[in-house]
Amino acid sequence: MTLGIVYHMPFWRAPDGTLRELEGSFARYVDSLAPYFDEISLCVPVLSQPPGEGTAVRSTNVTLAPLPAFDGPVHFYPGLARVLPRLFAWGRHIDLLHCRVPSPAAVFAFAIARLMGRPAFLLVVGDLRALLPAMPYRGLKRGLWRAYTEFEERSIQWMAGRSLTFANGPALSAKHARPDHPVIQTTTTTISERDIATRADTCTGTAVRALTVSRIDPRKGLRVLPDVVRRLVDTGIDVTLDIVGPAVGRPGEDEQAAILEDARRRGVDGRITLSGAVPLDRLLPRYARYDLFVLPTLAGEGIPRVLLEAMSAGLPIVTTRVAGIPGLVTHGVNGLLVDRPAADAVAQAMARVVKDSHLRQGLIAGGYATARTHTLETQAARMMESVSSGLHLALRQPVDLPVG
């Protein structure tokens, strides 16, 4: 059986022949599903010039069905006439469609699959409507983004009402469920059992090393971080912060510039480093360098996969009580939740973690327990069991496939 996956994450073919993806989380997700199928065909934008090292897809039964490279909907829709024939040709090749949404090509692939009688399942990973207030656009651009958001939201609702649907976290599950059509809650993850560390404590030295892993754009709430660092230093905590992740488009570049300027203005520019994108295979071991993880994200998330990555590395977590995050993080058990991504609230929570070793050690232990129940292998097994029973399909048994 051939599984076709449509998504907007770009791939490229490396000189060594491997398929690579910049961030790595989607590559790992694909690898987790590969043992259940004879072939996985990725209908994704393909880059001619790789933007970095990337993370390789290790399974040998994964192939590409290239789409023209695009940077968001503003580049996708003008090229739709070229994309549709490719989607029709691809639809004839696959036996089962999997759409990760929101994603510009998904609704068109889904409609084609229905015309061809192909079964499909959906994974909802984000909420564009909830993110709309955080977008920095004005005037015509804001109107166009609002129109795209509404089209994408209605498309997801249409697809979710006609297919087996999974959603990342309780908020997205509740949003897309209907009385006669439930949605299966899942948790996006990138970690395997072998990634889970063993250290029992952090923040035991004189300096505290904090980490944020996030794309840099206005929807992530990162602009409060220079003020957070300033407040912690003023209370006597010798803290540094490393922000790992790429700036996303022009809004992300503007956000990055604003963070750097605010850090300079507050006198903490020497304490904040923006490291850019780091491939997942190198990022996961890097978590072990730090003492504390902070993510002051805004509404619109499902459950950020970086929270599980931090838990698996033994990092105590401070994050916001928004969207699906409370479905993963229980306040005082495996992390601390703040009600709003404001500098005073985030700084106070981080200071609690630094100063209270009993609390900190409990959060670390709770994080490990959570990580062990949300590995890639466990998530894939649960999802594919639901796909097999819900769509009445006989999938491969999850034996290990040869990897490159």
Q: What is the dihedral of CA 139, 145, 150, 153, to 10 degrees?
A: -150
Q: Which residues of 392-403 are buried (b: 16+ CB within 10 A; e: fewer)?
A: eeebeeeeebee
Tokens 């697809």 — which residue?
Answer: 159
CA angle 291, 258, 22 (to 5 degrees): 60
| C-alpha 37, offset from chain centre | 24
Contact call for residues 287 and 310 (beta carbons, < 8 A): yes
Q: What pLDDT, on the 0 to 100 scale, is given for residue 399?
A: 67
Q: What pLDDT, on the 0 to 100 scale, is given for residue 118?
A: 97
Q: What pLDDT, on the 0 to 100 scale, is given for residue 71?
A: 78
**Which CATH code for domain 193-372?**
3.40.50.2000
Confidence class for position 119, pLDDT limits 50, 70, 90: very high
Residue intervals in the chain for CATH 3.40.50.2000: 2-189+375-391, 193-372
Contact call for residues 249 and 71 (beta carbons, < 8 A): yes
Among 130, 180, 146, which residue's Cα sits nearest to residue 160? 180
Residue 182 burial (CB count, 10 A): 12
Q: What pLDDT, on the 0 to 100 scale, is given for residue 212?
A: 98
Confidence class for position 401, pLDDT limits 50, 70, 90: very low
Among 305, 306, 364, 368, which residue's Cα sits nearest to residue 336? 364
Q: What distance in Å separates the CA atoms of residue 66 and residue 43, rounded to the nearest whole number?
A: 6
Q: What distance in Å separates the CA atoms of residue 105 and residue 99, rounded to the nearest whole number?
A: 9
Rg of the chain, C-alpha, whole Å: 21
Q: What is the pTM of this model?
A: 0.85
Q: Which fold has domain 2-189+375-391?
A: Rossmann fold (3.40.50)
- Choose the weakest-confidence range: 152-156, 229-233, 247-251, 351-355: 247-251
Among 268, 280, 113, which residue's Cα sits nearest to residue 213? 280
Q: What distance in Å separates the CA atoms of residue 299 and residue 128, rounded to the nearest whole number?
A: 10
Q: What is the pLDDT of residues 272-304, one digit of tens each?
A: 999 998 889 899 999 999 999 999 998 766 789
Q: What pLDDT, on the 0 to 100 scale, is given for residue 352?
A: 98
Residue 139 burial (CB count, 10 A): 7
Q: What pLDDT, on the 0 to 100 scale, is given for residue 290?
A: 98
Contact call for residues 7 and 100 (beta carbons, < 8 A): yes
